[in-house]
Amino acid sequence: MVSRGDEKYVVYPTYFDKSVPRFSGRKVSLKHAVEKPNIEDIFKAAKALGLNPVLEKDVAHPSKPWKKEGRILIDKKDVKSKLLVKIASQLK
């Protein structure tokens, strides 16, 4: 479990999914969102940005416990929203 004191942000594929409404979990704007984001692609994008990602497979987003898409832990090198946009730019 990651807590506030840790130096990591949690990133779920839902944050980048174009088909997910903003109020349901998407964190980036539609212009940065992609269709069916893949956890491995997000991991590669975070790695390319030097965020020291840690891939955790078989983990579900808290609002969708039945859908185990996985998550990635990234270093807190900037504001989370800015890091998500940078990762999204790498995904396109």
- Average pLDDT, stretch 5-26? 91
Higher pLDDT, 40 or 64: 40
Percent of the chain whose predicted confidence (pLDDT) is above 90:
82
pLDDT of residue 14: 94
- The sign of the CA dihedral 25, 29, 30, 32 is negative
Any idea which architecture 8-91 has in CATH? 2-Layer Sandwich (3.30)
Q: How many CB atoms lie within 10 A of CB 31?
A: 9
pLDDT, tens only, 43-62: 999 999 999 999 999 999 88
**Can you give the residue ranges of every domain in the chain?**
8-91
User: pTM to 2 decimals?
Assistant: 0.90
pLDDT of residue 42: 96
pLDDT of residue 2: 66
